[in-house]
Structure 1
Amino acid sequence: MTIFDIFEPIGIFVFAISGAITAVKKHMDIIGVFILASVTALGGGVLRDVIMDRGIPAAFSNYDYYVLILLAVIFISTVGPSLRWPWALTVFDAIGLAVFTVDAGIKAIDMNLNLLAFLFMSVITGVGGGVLRDMLSKEVPVIFRREIYALAALVGAICLWVFTPLINEAAAAYLSVTVILVIRLLAVYYKLDLPRIIN
């Protein structure tokens, strides 16, 4: 089993949970919950594949993805009332951001992409699903609200790029996931924001 085999299903499952939590908060019906969970879990990968002209996105050819999404929806439907929504959404979203950013980064490195293409592929995959989730639920996407979100993905991706040749791919991947999680959760906990232009 490769590091890719571990990260991809984790990312899909936790981002699907993030989307399902948002849908429940918005009082959507069960179809709405499943659709928002699917968009959140698969949106970043679809955006990446379309922009990079990689043919039919993997989201439309792998039925295992939808099994994971269905399990996430069942999980939220079952244990949802016992979750503290703001805390749960933040944690699951941070895990999804970290795992998807690093998963895409590993693929980019294996494809021998240059640094700019690597960073684009990593960050767009990490943040894309969350952006689509927020737009469909009529929220301003989190990356546009001054919060340290895309920056966390960018820093983690750079760590992956720098440390993969120095140690090994698996160790660099786990380190990068940890970096993104720590930055994102500390930013939320301490209410750290990026500066904004004041008019």
Structure 2
Amino acid sequence: MIGIVNYGAGNIFSLTSALDRLELPYGMVNTEADLDKYSHIIIPGVGHAGAAMKKLADTGLVEPIKSLKKPVLGICVGMQLLTDHSEEGDAELIGIVPLKTRLFNKDQGIKIPHMGWNNIEHKNNLLFEDVKSGSQFYFVHSYFIEYNPTFDIATAEYGQPFSAAVQKDNFYGVQFHPEKSGAAGERLLKNFSNLKQ
């Protein structure tokens, strides 16, 4: 069963709608004790990384999340929260994946935010089982996680290559919104639910 971290910084409706379509049971994580009720944890997120981190810190869930051994998936800002630092609000983040979240450079002639469908190239990883490399996913973001081959499990390009998905141990993050990405996104959510502890 999937626990969704409910810290006031996620568009939870579209995520719960996707889980309903997939008939994947879920509930909300509001306190540290709630983390024990679920086999898999999702950290959603939209908006400002610095503000999201403050809200998450206010719940008292940061340290309990860091110590989890079960599969954890951060989505969009939820993925960025897993990194060390964001240029958005010059914010220190959870620090699970030792990377930085940076602002796209509009001097490269790109529009910010990066919004819409973009294809990704992924590595052979259980999160992407039966998802073709080159599949399109839906993105909405102005900040990106720097590409690093150690943690990168999928790459996209927008002015420059960036991490579309990362993994460190039991922690996964996706910059796109699987819940808004049609069949490929639903497959990814199903794959996440099948990951073993």
TM beyond 0.5: no
Structure 1 length-normalised TM = 0.28
Whichever structure has more strand as a proportion of its residues is 2
Whichever of the two has the greater Rg, that structure is: 1
Larger RCO, structure (CA 8 Å, separation 6 or more): 1
